[in-house]
Chain A
Amino acid sequence: MAEMAANGEEPEVLFWVGCAGSFDDRYKRVTRAFVQILEHVGVKYAVLGTEESCTGDPAKRAGNEFLFQMQALTNIEVLNGYNIKTIVTACPHCFNTIKNEYPDLGGNYEVIHHSTFLQQLINEGKVHVKGGEAFKGQRITYHDSCYLGRANDIYEAPRDVLAALDADLVEMKRVRANGLCCGAGGAQMFKEPEPGNKDINIERTEEALATLGAGNGVIATACPFCMVMMNDGVKNKEQEESVKVFDIAELIAQAEGLSK
């Protein structure tokens, strides 16, 4: 971004990568897949790179309003400094926080989650996955992220994106507004679960596996935390050979032949 600004240019969109997208090895692949799509369709985008910092979402959900506002005010200063207007992000937590909570602190942007963004690209015909045989006959089930779904009423965009693939989309028992949390939200990602008789991600994985049935299948996610939780769940059930967890951006990138 700094480079673009130095050249006096402004991006169409700023891609907010997020901490998971920057540091988590698995999720870095999603970041790269999404960037490949951006490059492929020729959107003029920028990233903040090392100038980006945590949005403060985990601090806020854990109750540390002070640290959250610290992060938010600093980030807003950077974003406003570059005169950013549109932000796209693959992380529902970053999305929710920047979209809903930054305005109170002086950060007003159009914030788009990558599922909506991809849906638009498909609708506009910029990405045309039809014809790609990559997913023919594969069973895919989509796991709703709480911070996309209930928190922001985005249920259809990720499903529309998946529908563009030539796959067999199957729904779990608890979906959309009734979806079941992966267990990572509210800063749970960063701590051990409280004592109980089961971990939440196991409950959700069992449901996903029951939906996919025997044989190969994909659990599609649209959130870095959901991805970690579902991956752990699949490993816990020793199904990692037959069931893969992919972000919707990765699936599109694969279908477009952008990545393997």
Chain B
Amino acid sequence: MIGLENIIFLIVAAIGIGLFVWQIRKIRKNVLMGRDLELADNTSERINKTLLVAFGQQKMFKRMLPAVLHLFVYVGFLVINIEVLEILIDGIFGTHRILGFAGILYSGLMAINEILAALVIVACAIFLWRRNVTHVPRLWNGVEMRAWPKLDANLILITEIVLMLALFAFNISDLKLAQLRGAHIAGAFPISSLFVNALGSDPETLHVIGRVGWWFHILGILAFMNYLPSSKHFHIIMAFPNVYYSKLLPKGKFTTNPAITHEIKAMLDPSYQPPAPEVDAEGNPVIQRFGAKDVEDLTWKQLMDSYTCTECGRCTSVCPANMTGKLLSPRKIVMDTRDRMEEKGEHPAIFAPNHYKEMGVERVEVTEEKTLLRGYITPEELWACTSCNACVEACPVNIDQLSTIMDLRRFLVLEESAAPASLNAMFTNIENNGAPWAFSPADRFNWADELYVPSKN
């Protein structure tokens, strides 16, 4: 029974999926702009973490209300994929509810699906309320939360509601049509059956409504899929790999730069033989940049982080620097990295403005002088960080904002000697006195002299 409608469907679906694959390749290319990093270790620990944090939503449960609402949308998303599969098969082969043969299993699936779809609508409505009416501060405030991120968030929520409504339109008309014919259709529809009389009883109209609902739903999903790479909603895909590759070491452990180690060892011991410097394809030595000035100095994981960010602001809302009015916002660091990456590399095909600048701003010319550091992120932001790891702890998708901040700081200090004067004084003290303060190393043991003298203050 393959007809014109099915052929059109096939073409549309192929275009939608093809476009998506093409977009993903762009993103992959952007992420691979970053430095190499070996993260293939500890597979079992990584799988565990992914199950807990990504599939299990563990870190979301630090805040109960959004966690529960988000859980509805998330489980809804997982379950609806089974229905999308059915839609694809039906669409291609002109079948109708092909999975219906599964009997009670199918009924159960449909029933769960309907309940989840209803919960998704409720959750999204509350989310819209929280964003636009009660203005939950972390979703509303911050220089990085300009026109696009706010619109993006609303578009996603509205789209999800509309997609669910389309699904209901399809189910309700299907149900009503079956009722009119006195036939039985596969599946159980606890929500739709409440509304069977809402659509009137003209079979022609019902048929049209059903088809429109069906087409709208699947076209919507295809369009939405292609919208993802332009959106914070991309986290529904990226959360899984990003958590898988997240840092397993203690949060306090910062990276060590081996190139520096060789240099110092050679300085301390003239007989030390550092390994031959890395060479590029043409045999020229690779110039090592210490720290990060631009996106290609960051690792691919740090770049992947920025594609995973949900812009939820949990990091920024717990950042001590941010909450006391300093310029730093860890969310901005992550979003800046993404914007810069797309400015330098490829950018999504539709709805290009990932850029959180005011909409309408053209993509900026990529010039030599404009880099992530200074072009987007100012030293003042970087110097406000206490390296407290609160942002890292708070992030539901295991982004390591602090590592990016530290790499940018390293560039300021190691390549530009641009530390604040008081920090330079601290460096000098460590160099000369072995302590960050200007005390003589000879006095280091003085505390012991006073050991049995009760202190006076």
A residues near B, CB below 8 A?
17, 19, 21-24, 28-29, 31-32, 35-36, 47, 49-50, 52-54, 56, 58-67, 69-71, 73-74, 96, 99-101, 104-105, 146-147, 150-153, 177-181, 183-200, 202-204, 259-260
A62 touches B419 (CB 8 A): yes
Whether B200 is near chain A, meaning CB under 8 Å from some CB there, is no
| A52 to B, closest residue via Cβ | B444
Docked complex: B44-82 residues within 8 A CB-CB of A: 62
Q: Which of B320, B393, B411, B446 meets A177, CB within 8 Å? A: B393
A190 touches B254 (CB 8 A): no
B250, B386, B389, B454 pick with most chain A CB within 10 angstroms: B386
A196 touches B325 (CB 8 A): yes
A189–B422 Cα distance when bound, in Å, is 10
A22, A147, A177, A189 pick with most chain B CB within 10 angstroms: A22
Q: List 15 A-B contacts (CB under 8 A).
A: A17-B447, A35-B451, A50-B441, A54-B434, A65-B260, A70-B431, A71-B430, A74-B268, A100-B249, A104-B256, A151-B389, A153-B250, A186-B387, A196-B384, A200-B320
Residues of A within 8 A of B261 (CB): 69, 73, 104-105
B174 vs chain A, min Cβ distance (A): 49
Given contact pairs A63-B410, A203-B324, enumerate 6 new A-B contacts (beta carbons under 8 Å): A28-B450, A59-B426, A65-B260, A66-B414, A178-B62, A260-B454
B99 vs chain A, min Cβ distance (A): 44
User: Given A49-B445, A190-B436, A194-B327 in contact, is the A146-B422 Cβ separation under 8 Å?
Assistant: no
A185 touches B436 (CB 8 A): no
Q: Which of A54, A100, A186 meets B435, CB within 8 Å? A: A54
Whether B253 is near chain A, meaning CB under 8 Å from some CB there, is yes
Docked complex: B304-338 residues within 8 A CB-CB of A: 318, 320-321, 323-328
Residues of B within 8 A of A189 (CB): 436
Q: Which of B257, B427, B443, B444 meets A62, CB within 8 Å? A: B427
B residues near A, CB below 8 A?
62, 249-254, 256-257, 260-261, 263-265, 268, 290-291, 318, 320-321, 323-328, 380, 383-390, 392-393, 406, 409-414, 419-420, 422-423, 425-427, 430-431, 434-437, 439, 441-448, 450-451, 454-455
User: Given A22-B447, A153-B250, A194-B380 in contact, is the A62-B389 Cβ separation under 8 Å?
Assistant: no
User: Given A54-B434, A197-B325 in contact, is the A61-B422 Cβ separation under 8 Å?
Assistant: no
Residues of A within 8 A of B442 (CB): 50
Closest 5 CB pairs of A and B: A151-B252, A186-B387, A197-B325, A63-B409, A53-B434
A147–B249 Cα distance when bound, in Å, is 14
Residues of A within 8 A of B410 (CB): 63-65
A55–B327 Cα distance when bound, in Å, is 30
The interface residues of chain B, by DSSP majority, are classed as helix
A64–B263 Cα distance when bound, in Å, is 14
User: Given A183-B320, A186-B386, A194-B380 in contact, is the A59-B250 Cβ separation under 8 Å?
Assistant: no
A53 touches B422 (CB 8 A): no
B450 touches A50 (CB 8 A): no
A70–B257 Cα distance when bound, in Å, is 12
Residues of A within 8 A of B392 (CB): 150
A110–B403 Cα distance when bound, in Å, is 26
User: Given A49-B444, A59-B430, A186-B387 in contact, is the A64-B414 Cβ separation under 8 Å?
Assistant: yes
| A23 to B, closest residue via Cβ | B439
A184–B254 Cα distance when bound, in Å, is 18
A-B contact count (CB 8 A): 222
User: Given A150-B393, A152-B250, A190-B422 in contact, is the A67-B427 Cβ separation under 8 Å?
Assistant: yes
B326 touches A64 (CB 8 A): no
Q: Which of A22, A28, A67, A146 meets B430, CB within 8 Å? A: A67
Residues of A within 8 A of B425 (CB): 190
| B405 to A, closest residue via Cβ | A186
A198 touches B447 (CB 8 A): no
B414 touches A62 (CB 8 A): no
B420 touches A191 (CB 8 A): yes
A194–B430 Cα distance when bound, in Å, is 23
User: Given A63-B406, A100-B249, A187-B423 in contact, is the A73-B264 Cβ separation under 8 Å?
Assistant: yes
A111 vs chain B, min Cβ distance (A): 11
B254, B409, B410 pick with most chain A CB within 10 angstroms: B254
B427 touches A64 (CB 8 A): yes
Q: Which of B252, B384, B431 meets A147, CB within 8 Å? A: B252
A137–B88 Cα distance when bound, in Å, is 70
B102 vs chain A, min Cβ distance (A): 44
A31 touches B324 (CB 8 A): no
B423 touches A191 (CB 8 A): yes
Residues of B within 8 A of A147 (CB): 252
B427 touches A146 (CB 8 A): no
Residues of A within 8 A of B327 (CB): 194-196
Residues of B within 8 A of A21 (CB): 447
A23 touches B388 (CB 8 A): no
| A92 to B, closest residue via Cβ | B252
Residues of A within 8 A of B446 (CB): 22, 28
Q: Which of B251, B386, B411, B431 meets A183, CB within 8 Å? A: B386
Residues of B within 8 A of A202 (CB): 324
A193 touches B384 (CB 8 A): yes
B263 vs chain A, min Cβ distance (A): 8
B444 touches A194 (CB 8 A): no
Residues of B within 8 A of A67 (CB): 427, 430-431
A7 vs chain B, min Cβ distance (A): 18
Residues of B within 8 A of A32 (CB): 447, 450-451, 455
Residues of B within 8 A of A99 (CB): 250
B196 vs chain A, min Cβ distance (A): 49
A198 touches B389 (CB 8 A): no
B298 vs chain A, min Cβ distance (A): 15
A101 touches B435 (CB 8 A): no
A29–B434 Cα distance when bound, in Å, is 21
B297 vs chain A, min Cβ distance (A): 13
A36–B452 Cα distance when bound, in Å, is 9
